[in-house]
């Protein structure tokens, strides 16, 4: 008996390759390596073309007119001479082959943004007198934060995501202008020493660092407004966490919480709270204390009931509760007059209040629940950008079906969706 064939389509840099490959365990290494070689050659050819274009720009563009310079994906292994562009503000050197960059590359007095992501930088130097405010070193294979960053006295935003950084050096504490540091997808040791060195920063992103425990001195982050600890292995917070009353955004996406810790309900300035993909079985009544919440993300959990205290969250704009075990939505839901986006799909909901009473509502997903009756008041709201009701056991007459098709066709040209 012949093995069935499957058609494999591979899109590489807008080039489409198709091949019939035998459906067998593993993959055909010769075919795979062949396609990979083709991809590499195409990438090299595109880089060569772009490099020639860039060289022409560097040669013929008047010095005073160059404000933003894009030298990305051009195959450079060293930075070309850009010293004549004294008025340069943005320099993009992403996706090259750079390993060493000298301070002459950053000599422009007005240079504020430098993008160096997806290189292989091992050595990086900056001049003493510089005005760089944003530095992107994402995806460079860095094992440590370069010491030369100490010279960036005006640095406000530092992106070091997707590297192999383990420790936060002392000099970070001395970068007085630094407001945001992105250390997502690293190997950062988040201990008491790290907290002390980050205490002056407003936005701290530490997602996907295999963090298991939050240090007890976390309350030192009094200036922090946004804290991302998503995609880690955290299941509890220390008592001192409740002292972070300046927090406006807290991300615990993809962790191991079985309950929202009570200490979080002391953070009354929170505007965004994210517990996507945890193991929550319920929402504590303390949630009602967070009256400034504008965005609440509790999807992909095991929540069966909504506490009545949630009715206090009248500032909510985004509420996502999809992929839970909810069976009904309380009547007090209509108090969310500022609500714009609502996700309730993939629950077991059989009853909802009249959501058409929410004047700001623009997107609603009620798909894959147990609703038997069409929410006509909501369906007839022609100001909704999206309404999804598919996957429910509606009892539909031919008249209902025709009306839904008519409304769907009428809204489609306006970029609005009715999916049933």
Over residues 154-209, the pLDDT tens digits come to 999 999 999 999 999 999 999 999 999 999 999 999 999 999 999 999 999 999 99
Which of 146, 138, 97, 145 shows the shortest CA–CA distance to 119?
97
| Chain center to CA of 225 | 17
Of the two residues 81 and 369, the one the predictor is more confident about is 369
* Band of residue 104 on the pLDDT scale cut at 50, 70, 90: confident
Pairing verdict, β 90-92 and 113-115: parallel
For the record, the structure tokens of 309 come out as: 């205290």
Q: pLDDT for 354-372, tens place per residue?
A: 999 999 999 999 999 999 9
Whole-angstrom distance, CA of residue 216 vs CA of residue 307: 30
- Class assignment of domain 61-188? alpha beta
Contacts of 215 (CB under 8 A, 6+ apart): 190, 191, 192, 194, 195, 238
The domain ranges of the chain are: 1-59, 61-188
* pTM score of the predicted model: 0.89
What is the predicted pLDDT for the residue at 41? 63
What is the pLDDT, as a whole number, of residue 61? Answer: 86
Mean pLDDT of the region 396-402: 93
Has residue 383 got a pLDDT over 80?
A: yes
Residue 6: is its pLDDT beyond 50?
no
Region of 368 please: left (phi>0), alpha (psi -120 to 50) or beta: left
User: Could you give the CA distance from residue 150 to residue 155 in angstroms, rounded to a whole number?
Assistant: 10
The answer to whether 361 and 342 have CB atoms below 8 angstroms apart is: yes
pLDDT score of 139 more than 90: yes
What proportion of the chain, given as a percentage, has pLDDT over 70? 89
């Amino acid at each position: 008996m012949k093995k069935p064939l499957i058609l494999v389509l591979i899109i590489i840099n807008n080039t489409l390759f198709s091949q019939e490959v035998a459906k067998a365990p593993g993959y055909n290494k010769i075919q795979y390596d062949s396609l990979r070689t083709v991809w590499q050659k195409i990438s090299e050819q595109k880089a060569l073309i772009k490099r020639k274009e860039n060289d022409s720009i560097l040669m013929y563009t008047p010095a005073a007119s160059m404000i933003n310079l894009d030298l990305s994906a051009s195959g450079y292994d060293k930075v070309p001479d850009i010293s004549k562009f004294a008025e340069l503000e943005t320099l993009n050197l992403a996706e090259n082959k750079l390993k060493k960059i000298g301070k002459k590359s950053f000599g422009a007095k007005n240079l504020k943004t430098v993008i160096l992501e997806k290189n292989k930088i091992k050595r990086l130097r900056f001049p003493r007198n510089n005005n760089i405010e944003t530095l992107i070193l994402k995806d460079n294979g860095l094992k440590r934060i370069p010491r030369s960053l100490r010279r960036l006295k005006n640095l406000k935003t530092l992106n070091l995501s997707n590297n192999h950084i383990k420790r936060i050096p002392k000099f970070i504490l001395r970068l007085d202008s630094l407001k945001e540091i992105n250390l997502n997808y690293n190997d950062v040791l988040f201990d008491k020493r790290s907290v002390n060195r980050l205490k002056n920063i407003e936005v701290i992103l530490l997602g996907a660092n295999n963090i298991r425990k939050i240090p007890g001195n976390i309350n030192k982050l009094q200036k922090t407004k946004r804290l991302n600890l998503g995609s880690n292995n955290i299941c509890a917070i220390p008592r001192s966490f409740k002292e972070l009353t300046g927090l406006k955004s807290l991300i615990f996406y993809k962790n191991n919480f079985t309950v929202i810790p009570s200490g979080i309900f002391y953070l009354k300035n929170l505007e965004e709270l994210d517990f996507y993909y945890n193991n929550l079985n319920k929402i504590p009544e303390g949630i009602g204390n967070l009256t400034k919440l504008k965005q609440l993300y509790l999807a992909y959990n095991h929540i069966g009931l909504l506490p009545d205290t949630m009715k206090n969250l009248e500032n909510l704009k985004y509420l996502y509760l999809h992929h839970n075990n909810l069976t009904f939505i309380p009547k007090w839901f209509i108090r969310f007059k500022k609500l714009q986006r609502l996700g309730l799909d993939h629950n077991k909901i059989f009853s909802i209040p009249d959501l058409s009473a929410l004047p700001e509502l623009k997107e609603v997903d009620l798909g894959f629940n147990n609703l038997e009756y069409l929410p006509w008041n909501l369906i007839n709201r022609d100001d909704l950008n999206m309404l999804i009701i598919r996957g429910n056991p509606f009892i539909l007459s031919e008249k209902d079906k025709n009306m839904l098709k008519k409304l769907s066709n009428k809204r489609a040209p306006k970029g609005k969706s009715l999916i049933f």
